[in-house]
Amino acid sequence: MNASAPSRRLFLAAAGTAFSGFASSLAAAPSEEGRWQTIRGRFAFPEDKVPMNAANLCPSPTVVAERVAELTHDIDVDCSFQNREKFKQQLEDSRAAVAKHLGVSADEVALVRNTSESNNTINNGMSLKSGDEVVLWEQNHPTNNVAWEVRAKRFGLRVTKVKTPAKPNSIDDLIGPFEKALSDKTRVLALTHASNVSGVRLPARELAEIAHRRGIHVHLDGAQSWGALNVKLREIGCDSYSASGHKWFVGPKEVGLLYVRKERIPSIWPNIVAPGWGTGPETGLVGARKFESLGQRDDAALTAVGTTADFHGMVGLAAIEKRVFELASQLKAGLKDAGARLVTPEQAEFSAGVCIMEVPAENRQRVLDGLYRDHGIAGSTSGGLRLCPHFYNTSEHVNRAIKGVKAMRNLWA
């Protein structure tokens, strides 16, 4: 009998108890705000170091962090093949949980390392030839933008970048420029769901419908939407979707996802072929699993992806999305009242959780440092001053961020 089996059973029982206690606490909350305070209490950060930079990195809830630590210790105690055999099923459990989270089948989901890897898998894996066109959004993340330019230079592809209005007044303002850019040569439309440098959110479903009428593959970078929005990929209709676990999903580090629609999987090549692929050019892996043949992985982190999905499920995906919009709206309204010039649209239909205000480039670091040092709010200087409240934040955190920005008016007004 494996000596570590009792400790694993005790750990799994403890994890179940932790979730049971969490559910009871949520049910007993005296108000909606009290419910969110309970959720905030499941994250370890102190009140003088409040994270508000979900576009870059999020804390994990303690139940996820503890699961990673416990299973990492389990491996260090016994790294035998016999002990690690259990992770095969736990990987599949995590895959199934993520697939349910996104409304797709488990065979369409690969658990990779991050959004960058996923974006590049699609970039390098599609069979394109010289003269084929790839249409991009100007505000794409570099791994969904510059990476295509690198491939274009290497293989003679044509890249067209689309610019959209900084302040859209209608969905048509965001759809029209893309519709005009598509041509008979376009083979790929690669988009970022919500921009990390402006906060603008694209109407992905409408753009996918337009592109599909022309037979164009639609790839969506969901780094700023997975875990923030109630993303249902069947409804969006994209052909592939990438995201990272360490951002809005509040999951373990260096685990990401790549979704590829079932019909598209056979035509996309993997970037990396490692042990586990098989012994020849034809893989024995089922579906999107062929994109996660990456060599030795962090089994503890991969398992904890499923724990994170369970945590989201207990809070409620629609509830999280609503909370993100509420806090972002509160933040934008407060910054605007303070006299700040917003880069991100005020309207929720054109944005998500990323909120950016204008700050002169030479003063951005001073504002960021002052906000952290004097007010305990951690943000970013991407695109200006970027603040991204998430469901672990409270209304008081947002008000404190607004107060801190007001206190440094001389640096941005």
Pairing of strands 256-260, 240-244: antiparallel
Pairing of strands 385-387, 355-357: antiparallel
Of 312, 337, 371, which residue is a domain's last? 312
Best CA proximity match to 229, nearest among 320, 167, 127: 320
pLDDT at 278: 86
Bigger pLDDT: 97 or 275?
97
CATH no. for residue 215? 3.40.640.10
Contact 118, 256 (CB under 8 A): yes
My answer on whether 285 and 341 are in the same domain is no
Residue 57 forms part of a structural domain: no
Residue 7 forms part of a structural domain: no
Residues whose CB is less than 8 angstroms from the CB of residue 339 and which lie 6 or more positions away in sequence, other chains included = 409, 413
Best CA proximity match to 174, nearest among 195, 212, 145, 200: 200
Residue 351 forms part of a structural domain: yes
Bigger pLDDT: 278 or 396?
396
My answer on whether 112 and 204 are in the same domain is yes
Contact 109, 99 (CB under 8 A): yes
Burial class (CB in 10 A: 0-12, 13-18, 19+), 19: middle
Residue 44 forms part of a structural domain: no
My answer on whether 194 and 288 are in the same domain is yes
Contact 110, 291 (CB under 8 A): yes
Give how far Cα 181 sits from Cα of 31, 136, 177, 188, Å: 49, 9, 6, 12
- Find residue 134's DSSP bridge partners: 159, 188
My answer on whether 398 and 346 are in the same domain is yes
My answer on whether 228 and 129 are in the same domain is yes
Average pLDDT over residues 139-152: 96
**H or E element, residue 176:** helix 171-181
Residue 26 forms part of a structural domain: no
Residue 204 — φ and ψ, nearest 5°?
A: -60, -40
Contact 220, 143 (CB under 8 A): no
Of 287, 312, 337, which residue is a domain's last? 312
pLDDT at 2: 45
My answer on whether 212 and 284 are in the same domain is yes
Residue 65 forms part of a structural domain: no
Question: In the predicted model, what is the mean pLDDT of the chain?
Answer: 94
pLDDT at 89: 95
Average pLDDT over residues 346-373: 97
Query: What domain range includes position 101?
Result: 91-312
My answer on whether 174 and 322 are in the same domain is no
Of 280, 312, 344, which residue is a domain's last? 312
- Find residue 53's DSSP bridge partners: 388
pLDDT at 17: 56
Residue 56 forms part of a structural domain: no
CATH no. for residue 337? 3.90.1150.10
My answer on whether 297 and 369 are in the same domain is no
Average pLDDT over residues 175-190: 98
pLDDT at 8: 42
Question: What's the whole-model pTM score?
Answer: 0.94
pLDDT at 233: 98
Residue 299 forms part of a structural domain: yes
Alpha-carbon span 408 to 340, nearest angstrom: 11
Number of domains in the chain: 2
pLDDT at 18: 60
Average pLDDT over residues 153-178: 97
Contact 245, 252 (CB under 8 A): yes
My answer on whether 125 and 269 are in the same domain is yes
My answer on whether 350 and 299 are in the same domain is no
Residues whose CB is less than 8 angstroms from the CB of residue 237 and which lie 6 or more positions away in sequence, other chains included = 205, 208, 209, 212, 218
My answer on whether 307 and 260 are in the same domain is yes
* Percent over 70 (pLDDT), the chain: 96
My answer on whether 232 and 274 are in the same domain is yes
